[in-house]
Structures are given as C-alpha cells and as structure tokens.
Amino acid sequence: ARYETVSPSKENWIPCGTGLGGVVYNISFTQTQASISTIMNSSSKERNKAIFDALSAQSDEINRAFGAELRWLRMDDNKMSCAIVSQPFDGFNREVWNEMADWMASTMVRLQAAFDGPIAKLKASGKFKVGPT
C-alpha cells in the first residue's frame, strides 16, 4: 500500500516513506542486481548516524524478523546510512524480469515488516524529529 502514491520515475530506484522523516524504504535495480533497503538520508549526517545506530543496535532482532542477514552500512564518510539486501539478476535478460519483480516485492514486504515496529518506536520517542532543534 505504501507504493500506491509513488509516481513513475526515470530513475533506477523507488523510495517510499517509513513514517520517520528522512528514513525511506527503497527498491533499486541495476544491470546486474536488485536491492531492497532501509535508508537514513535526512539533511543531517549526525541524525542519520544516530538513527542508524539505534536501529543497528536491534540488528539481531530485525534480521531475525526479516528472515535473513541484512548488510548494515553505517558509511561514516557519507551522509547516509542503510541496511540493505541485494540479489544478482541479469537486467538485460527479459526472461528474468518477472522473477526479479517477484523477489523485489516479496523482499520489500519482509523488510517493512521487520523495520516498521522499530521505526515506529523511534518516532514515538520524539528523539528524531526533523527540523531545527
């Protein structure tokens, strides 16, 4: 239901909100792989790292709820951070496009289910409000 209001784009990624400002669920694909991720990318590097740290402290529980190991990338030299899972696909082979789409859809459902609770708790804490402090 989250992607119902997302408009088509020429980009190779499709973000949608999580309910916490600056944090999105993202579907992306390239010529060689598809990826599903939770991205912390507000205008504040410090806020992004704090949200990442709060979520990654729960990585065992989130990975268990997701059903696989996510790659938790703090990326200290970058503004953004993310938790991501990728699957190789031959994007030039139209015969695998349905398989790729099925993988992206089912994996996104699992990712959202794993992150929705922890993100809602962060939002409810009031600690990560967007805007001037």
Query: How do residues 32-88 score in pLDDT, each as one tens digit?
Result: 999 999 999 999 999 999 999 999 999 999 999 999 999 999 999 999 999 999 999
Q: Per residue in 34-50, pLDDT tens?
A: 999 999 999 999 999 99
- The alpha-helical segments, DSSP class H, found in 25-89 are 45-56, 59-66
Confidence of residue 20 (pLDDT cuts 50, 70, 90): very high
- DSSP 3-state of 57: coil
Q: Which of 62, 40, 66 is nearest to 51 (CA)?
A: 40
Q: Which of 114, 127, 10, 11 is nearest to 64 (CA)?
A: 114
pLDDT above 90 covers what percent of the chain?
79
Q: Per residue in 95-117, pLDDT tens?
A: 999 999 999 999 999 999 999 99
pLDDT value of residue 75: 97
pTM of the model: 0.88
What is the C-alpha to C-alpha distance for residues 53 and 50, in angstroms, rounded to an integer? 5
Q: Scan for tokens 């030039």, then name that residue.
A: 92
Q: Scan for tokens 């922890």, then name that residue.
A: 118
What is the C-alpha to C-alpha distance for residues 77 and 80, in angstroms, rounded to an integer? 9
What is the C-alpha to C-alpha distance for residues 120 and 111, in angstroms, rounded to an integer? 14
Backbone angles phi, psi at 37, to 5 degrees: -150, 160
